[in-house]
Chain A
Amino acid sequence: MNQQCNRSSDGGMIDRSKIIKFQFDGRAYEGHPGDTLASALLANGVILTARSFKYHRPRGICTAGPEEPNALVTLGRKGRSEPNIAATVIELFEGLEARSQNRWPSLRYDLLAVNSLIKPLLSAGFYYKTFMWPRSFWYALYEPMIRRAAGLGALQNRPDPDRYEHAHIHCDILIVGAGPAGLVAAKEASRSGARVLLVDDQPRPGGYLSGESLEIDGQPGAQWAHEFADELRAMDNVRMLARTTVTGRYDGMTFCAVERVSDHLRARNTKVADLPRQRLWTIHAEQFICAAGAIERPLVFDDNDRPGVMLAGAARRYLNQYGVLPGREVLIFTNNDDAYLTARDLSAAGADVIVIDTRKKAPAAKLLPGRLKVFFEHALTDVSGHNSLSSATMTPLVVKGPKQTMRCDLICISGGWNPTTHLLSHLGQKPQWSQKIAAYTMIDSGSNAFVTGGAAGLFELTQGMEDAAKTGRNAARACGFSTEERSVLPLVSPNSSYAIEPFWRLPKQLSDGSKSFVDLQNDVTVGDLELSEREGFGHAEHAKRYTTLGMGTDQGKLSNVNALGLLAELRDQTLSETGTTTYRPLYGPVALGALAGQRTGAEFAPVRHSAMHDWHAEQGAVFTHAGLWLRPYYYPRGDEGFATAVTREVRAVRSGVGMVDVSTLGKIEMKGPDAGNFLDHLYINSFSKMKIGRARYGAMLREDGMMFDDGTVSRLSREHYFITVTTVNAASVLQHMEFCHQTNWPELDVQFCSVSEAWSAMAVAGPKSREVLERVVEDLAIDNGAFPFMAVGNGTIGGAFVRIFRISFSGELAFEVYTDASYGQSVWEAIMRAGQSLDITAYGTEAMTVMRTEKGHVAGPELDGRTTAADLGLGRMMSQKKDFVGRRMAVRDDLVLDTVKQLVGLKPLLEGASFKMGAHLVEDPTGIGANVSQGHVTTAVYSPACDHFIGLALLSGGRNRVGERLYAVSPLHNEQVEVVVSDPVFVDPAGERTHV
């Protein structure tokens, strides 16, 4: 093929001195810097670029912007493969590889094009009708079949190798769109001193001007825009983001935007040094100016989807911006004046042009050279050609007259222009129908959003820029800046005018019944909309869902207004009455990677390490996640497995001494004259009268009466308490306390804050724990007489201040040692050294779980948000003498029935048998089904002390069922084990060991 056969010899904003090589469907082509994939394909005479969604009809490039419905391609390979990107937004880069989609075996010969022949089966609502019978076929046959045949590109099931980042930006005025209106508005606003952020989705500023041949202030419009933008860029208070699409407007003047940082720099499968692929911006603005321009809409007539049918404005842009003449025998079919500019420019570039206008006359006809033929009150009624155009037929609309068939290789269509007001409607504002421009428009909304230029429906350039200047000043004033009137506006030559008469569809009698497409991307035809209306789904919102119109990746940017016009006609309504569907964020497709940003893989969430983490790691600990923390799970020695190591650790504690890192516990320091009183409100038990220097186990409820958290509260002085809460609830307990203080009991004089990070903590447990600690603790006597169970005191270890609590979770004689986190590891190591001769053993969270289960202590699995204190055997702790959170609701009738689930212990009937956490407790294992479960196993471990499996369970009426036999069944594991209900405390029920 003649390389770049459609490229003009000069003009446009491309650099003809440099060649960029790329591939489309495996074939090599060449383009230039400044090209998009679409312009480069058109330059090379590639007309056929895609197959349609449902009918697999051949399609070509239709637009020159992000609104492209047809030419979607898959870009890149392997992990970088990305489907469904519009060729019109892909900046050409060296080595680019793109593939067409939704075709088999090839784009030119697509076997699934037979779908066109079974169109009656695939009409609107076919999901709900055609494939309903037999019912069982839906999942097995119909749905997979439809999904295979209809669709777009395929997702890659590989990790995305690229990097994305998130960033915030603040400004006084956000202006979206760097076309003539946006540029002028930015200039005017910035002169006041306001911080202006100007965002545009194209590589270069200019917007509309980049595609036009007009002059401003005596220079080509695009050139003027560049120089104007350079002036802006030089200002300290202006920032411009190119290649950035503002995708959504959210509450409180927050916007989201995606910047394509290095997409255009990507060579094949390589990383661009140190640049993220895309950047997701959160923009915070005081004022917003929408200057996003307008999007052209197609005309609806028979076979209007053929490759070679293109929007008139797009054809003009390909010529003026990219130096591509997309056709030489051109028919222009329009209902408005704008397409005459295309006729003028294409004709000047050497194409044979014929204009077909549905209207009686056109003010813009005077723009055209005399030789150019214009047929008024005519319409295109037939398009011939399959993979490219051969000819088209035109028919008079009003009087009867002969049809004329003309050869063509390009048909430019224009059904009018729709202001791009998506960002204004994201917060729910409804557009108004404007008869003058036959489009929906938005007015400035509220006090902080403005619209100007083409986005405001001002399609005449001078008028648009005048309004933009005023809008820029108004926005600056709204931010509190003072502005002066600007006297001189750029001079536009020639200034365009705009007139239009709506033409929603070909009159029925002129159609031969071929498909007329309204939504090109989702293959929705006039026939589908008629059917939808006939079947009672004629409301705009209904028709959208019934036909899927506007639900493609282009979100109906081309199709919505045509569909509404058609529905209005069918329903004999005005367009104001028909109303619109709602535009919602996102404006265009956004890569999931951009939304995830850096939060993927290891960076998905922060990881917290205790001060002793390095020690654990050196000892070969296996870690487990607890909230964001990494905690030692167990410390295998040699080739020990999980069970052996855990059992060894438990035995070491029960017979000697062990130490566990409990730094992850939430810690709260509370002070003030009312601290005790406040704690009484928070906990079910009482702390205001607790002795100084003592700790106490405490439990707190939610206001609905369910257990929320447990831990210890210690009184360090009259007005000073120290509180520990569970690791995973550390943040929510503090939040709960603040809520209670600031809303329920603000009169209490109490201050508290989290000190979780300030302290390292370790529990030294086992009959020899005192012996170890006595070797290192100074300034505190810890013998049983001076320092009894639940005593609290201050001392030092190796000179470091320590707070010691005689608290036990394991059920053994135990001490919790707290120290400044910066001394955590040295205190830990000092205790380890002191205990070496007594074989002190580091133990992990699993050994801790085993021991607390042996003692019947509840933890996370039992505090599941559905259990009361009474259910867990803590009912006696609930004070009768004071008001506390959850007090009233905990004793409501339904929660104190005999049948509520209560904490029990479990043993297997046969020693050596095991059962699983999560297993259900049933009386008869043969009839497993709904409503037979009497409870479930919350914790199941092997107990070295008992030498068999033990468990904790929540069992209906459990406390009165000790000794009963039940089955623990886990259908998931196909397991049923006979168990015996027992008391939940398996080791040292009298609690003597902790008191020695």
Chain B
Amino acid sequence: MRIDCPWCGSRPLHEYAYSGDATTKRPDAERDADLSVWMDHVYLRDNPAGLHKEYWHHVSGCRSLLVVTRDTTTHLIESVSLAVQPSKGGKK
């Protein structure tokens, strides 16, 4: 398998580390005190047949986290984007 890193281009699988489901979002610590929200976030994952978004970490490359949209039934990668768009970084 190969992943098209937006910075580095098409690179082989062994340069990447799978970093989990990219559709979950860490609960807001202020608002979400309810334990069940956290249990869902930490332990519960969907296992869709079809398109899915996953984090892949380019650990042997630019070290960016990529959001890879992949079809779990064919392993075909539909799109790859950076978890953090460069324009959004830096300024608050």
Bound together, the chains give a CA A271 to CA B83 distance in angstroms of: 51
Q: List 23 A-B contacts (CB under 8 A).
A: A251-B2, A252-B75, A252-B77, A282-B12, A284-B2, A284-B12, A428-B74, A703-B26, A703-B41, A704-B43, A735-B57, A738-B57, A738-B65, A739-B65, A742-B64, A742-B65, A743-B22, A743-B55, A744-B26, A746-B84, A749-B91, A749-B92, A888-B27
* Cβ-based interface call for B48 (8 A): no
Measured between beta carbons, the chain A residues less than 8 angstroms from B2 are: 251-254, 284
Is B26 a contact partner of A735 (Cβ separation < 8 A)?
Answer: no
Q: Is the interface of A mostly helix, strand, loop or mixed?
A: mixed
Closest 9 CB pairs of A and B: A883-B29, A252-B2, A251-B1, A251-B75, A252-B1, A742-B65, A746-B84, A742-B83, A888-B38
Is B59 a contact partner of A250 (Cβ separation < 8 A)?
Answer: no
Given contacts A252-B13, A735-B57, A735-B59, contact A743 B92 (CB under 8 A): no
Measured between beta carbons, the chain A residues less than 8 angstroms from B83 are: 742-743, 746
* Cβ-based interface call for B35 (8 A): yes
Could you tell me the distance in whole angstroms from the C-beta of B34 to the nearest C-beta in chain A? 9
Could you tell me the distance in whole angstroms from the C-beta of A475 to the nearest C-beta in chain B? 18
Given contacts A254-B2, A742-B83, A742-B84, contact A735 B17 (CB under 8 A): yes
Residue of B nearest to A747 (CB): B92
Bound together, the chains give a CA A892 to CA B40 distance in angstroms of: 13
Measured between beta carbons, the chain A residues less than 8 angstroms from B29 are: 883, 887-888
Given contacts A253-B2, A739-B19, A749-B92, contact A889 B42 (CB under 8 A): yes
Measured between beta carbons, the chain A residues less than 8 angstroms from B1 are: 250-252, 254
Q: Which of A712-752 contact B (CB under 8 A)?
A: 731, 735, 738-739, 742-744, 746-747, 749
Which of the listed residues A250, A284, A731, A742 has the most CB atoms from chain B within 10 Å of its own CB?
A742
Bound together, the chains give a CA A309 to CA B2 distance in angstroms of: 46
Bound together, the chains give a CA A291 to CA B26 distance in angstroms of: 50
Measured between beta carbons, the chain B residues less than 8 angstroms from A747 are: 88, 92
Is A892 a contact partner of B35 (Cβ separation < 8 A)?
Answer: yes
| A-B pairs under 8 A by CB, number | 74
Interface mask (B1-28 → A, CB under 8 Å = 1, otherwise 0): 1110000000011000101001000110
Could you tell me the distance in whole angstroms from the C-beta of B86 to the nearest C-beta in chain A? 10
The 8 Å CB contact of B35, one of A168, A738, A888, is A888
Is A743 a contact partner of B65 (Cβ separation < 8 A)?
Answer: yes
| Other 20 A-B pairs with CB < 8 A, given A250-B1, A252-B77, A254-B12 | A252-B2, A282-B12, A284-B2, A284-B12, A428-B74, A704-B43, A735-B59, A738-B57, A738-B65, A739-B19, A742-B83, A743-B22, A744-B26, A746-B83, A746-B88, A749-B90, A888-B29, A888-B33, A888-B38, A892-B39
Bound together, the chains give a CA A889 to CA B41 distance in angstroms of: 10
Is A738 a contact partner of B75 (Cβ separation < 8 A)?
Answer: no
Measured between beta carbons, the chain B residues less than 8 angstroms from A887 are: 29
Residue of A nearest to B75 (CB): A251
* Cβ-based interface call for B63 (8 A): yes
Measured between beta carbons, the chain B residues less than 8 angstroms from A251 are: 1-2, 75-76
Is B65 a contact partner of A889 (Cβ separation < 8 A)?
Answer: no
Q: Which of B52-92 contact A (CB under 8 A)?
A: 55, 57, 59, 63-65, 74-77, 83-84, 88-92
Residue of B nearest to A749 (CB): B90
Could you tell me the distance in whole angstroms from the C-beta of B59 to the nearest C-beta in chain A? 6
Bound together, the chains give a CA A73 to CA B12 distance in angstroms of: 37
| Residues of chain B whose beta carbon lies under 8 Å from any beta carbon of chain A | 1-3, 12-13, 17, 19, 22, 26-27, 29-30, 33, 35, 38-39, 41-43, 55, 57, 59, 63-65, 74-77, 83-84, 88-92
| Residues of chain A whose beta carbon lies under 8 Å from any beta carbon of chain B | 168, 250-254, 282, 284, 427-428, 703-704, 731, 735, 738-739, 742-744, 746-747, 749, 883, 887-889, 892
The 8 Å CB contact of A738, one of B33, B39, B63, B91, is B63
Bound together, the chains give a CA A744 to CA B83 distance in angstroms of: 10
Bound together, the chains give a CA A738 to CA B89 distance in angstroms of: 13
Could you tell me the distance in whole angstroms from the C-beta of B20 to the nearest C-beta in chain A? 9
Bound together, the chains give a CA A703 to CA B27 distance in angstroms of: 11
Could you tell me the distance in whole angstroms from the C-beta of A642 to the nearest C-beta in chain B? 37
Bound together, the chains give a CA A744 to CA B22 distance in angstroms of: 11
Measured between beta carbons, the chain B residues less than 8 angstroms from A742 are: 64-65, 83-84
Bound together, the chains give a CA A703 to CA B24 distance in angstroms of: 13
Bound together, the chains give a CA A117 to CA B47 distance in angstroms of: 52
The 8 Å CB contact of A739, one of B43, B57, B90, is B57
Measured between beta carbons, the chain B residues less than 8 angstroms from A168 are: 12
Measured between beta carbons, the chain B residues less than 8 angstroms from A883 are: 29-30
Bound together, the chains give a CA A731 to CA B75 distance in angstroms of: 28
Bound together, the chains give a CA A704 to CA B26 distance in angstroms of: 12
Is A889 a contact partner of B55 (Cβ separation < 8 A)?
Answer: no
Bound together, the chains give a CA A704 to CA B39 distance in angstroms of: 8
Measured between beta carbons, the chain B residues less than 8 angstroms from A704 are: 42-43
Bound together, the chains give a CA A883 to CA B27 distance in angstroms of: 11
Bound together, the chains give a CA A749 to CA B19 distance in angstroms of: 22
Bound together, the chains give a CA A887 to CA B29 distance in angstroms of: 9
Measured between beta carbons, the chain A residues less than 8 angstroms from B27 are: 888
Could you tell me the distance in whole angstroms from the C-beta of B32 to the nearest C-beta in chain A? 8
Residue of B nearest to A891 (CB): B35
Measured between beta carbons, the chain A residues less than 8 angstroms from B41 are: 703
Measured between beta carbons, the chain A residues less than 8 angstroms from B43 are: 704
Could you tell me the distance in whole angstroms from the C-beta of B35 to the nearest C-beta in chain A? 6
Given contacts A887-B29, A889-B38, contact A739 B59 (CB under 8 A): no
Measured between beta carbons, the chain B residues less than 8 angstroms from A254 are: 1-2, 12-13
Could you tell me the distance in whole angstroms from the C-beta of B10 to the nearest C-beta in chain A? 8
Measured between beta carbons, the chain B residues less than 8 angstroms from A250 are: 1
Bound together, the chains give a CA A731 to CA B60 distance in angstroms of: 11
Bound together, the chains give a CA A427 to CA B3 distance in angstroms of: 17
Bound together, the chains give a CA A626 to CA B64 distance in angstroms of: 28
Measured between beta carbons, the chain B residues less than 8 angstroms from A744 are: 26
Could you tell me the distance in whole angstroms from the C-beta of A733 to the nearest C-beta in chain B? 13
Residue of A nearest to B58 (CB): A738
Bound together, the chains give a CA A428 to CA B71 distance in angstroms of: 14
Bound together, the chains give a CA A504 to CA B90 distance in angstroms of: 71
Could you tell me the distance in whole angstroms from the C-beta of A639 to the nearest C-beta in chain B? 46
Residue of A nearest to B59 (CB): A735
Bound together, the chains give a CA A747 to CA B90 distance in angstroms of: 6
Measured between beta carbons, the chain A residues less than 8 angstroms from B22 are: 743
Residue of A nearest to B22 (CB): A743
Could you tell me the distance in whole angstroms from the C-beta of A518 to the nearest C-beta in chain B? 33
Given contacts A251-B1, A253-B2, A888-B35, contact A746 B42 (CB under 8 A): no
Could you tell me the distance in whole angstroms from the C-beta of A622 to the nearest C-beta in chain B? 33
Bound together, the chains give a CA A253 to CA B12 distance in angstroms of: 10
Measured between beta carbons, the chain A residues less than 8 angstroms from B92 are: 747, 749
Bound together, the chains give a CA A252 to CA B76 distance in angstroms of: 7
Could you tell me the distance in whole angstroms from the C-beta of A426 to the nearest C-beta in chain B? 12
Residue of B nearest to A702 (CB): B42
Measured between beta carbons, the chain A residues less than 8 angstroms from B64 are: 742
Could you tell me the distance in whole angstroms from the C-beta of B19 to the nearest C-beta in chain A? 6
Bound together, the chains give a CA A805 to CA B75 distance in angstroms of: 50
Could you tell me the distance in whole angstroms from the C-beta of A287 to the nearest C-beta in chain B? 14
Residue of A nearest to B43 (CB): A704
Residue of B nearest to A892 (CB): B35
Bound together, the chains give a CA A427 to CA B71 distance in angstroms of: 13
Could you tell me the distance in whole angstroms from the C-beta of B8 to the nearest C-beta in chain A? 14
Measured between beta carbons, the chain B residues less than 8 angstroms from A735 are: 17, 19, 57, 59
Measured between beta carbons, the chain B residues less than 8 angstroms from A428 are: 74
Bound together, the chains give a CA A892 to CA B42 distance in angstroms of: 13
Bound together, the chains give a CA A660 to CA B83 distance in angstroms of: 41
Residue of B nearest to A748 (CB): B92
Residue of B nearest to A428 (CB): B74
Bound together, the chains give a CA A321 to CA B38 distance in angstroms of: 70
Residue of B nearest to A882 (CB): B29
Measured between beta carbons, the chain B residues less than 8 angstroms from A427 are: 74-75
Measured between beta carbons, the chain B residues less than 8 angstroms from A743 are: 22, 26, 55, 65, 83
Could you tell me the distance in whole angstroms from the C-beta of A127 to the nearest C-beta in chain B? 33
Bound together, the chains give a CA A251 to CA B74 distance in angstroms of: 9
Bound together, the chains give a CA A703 to CA B20 distance in angstroms of: 13
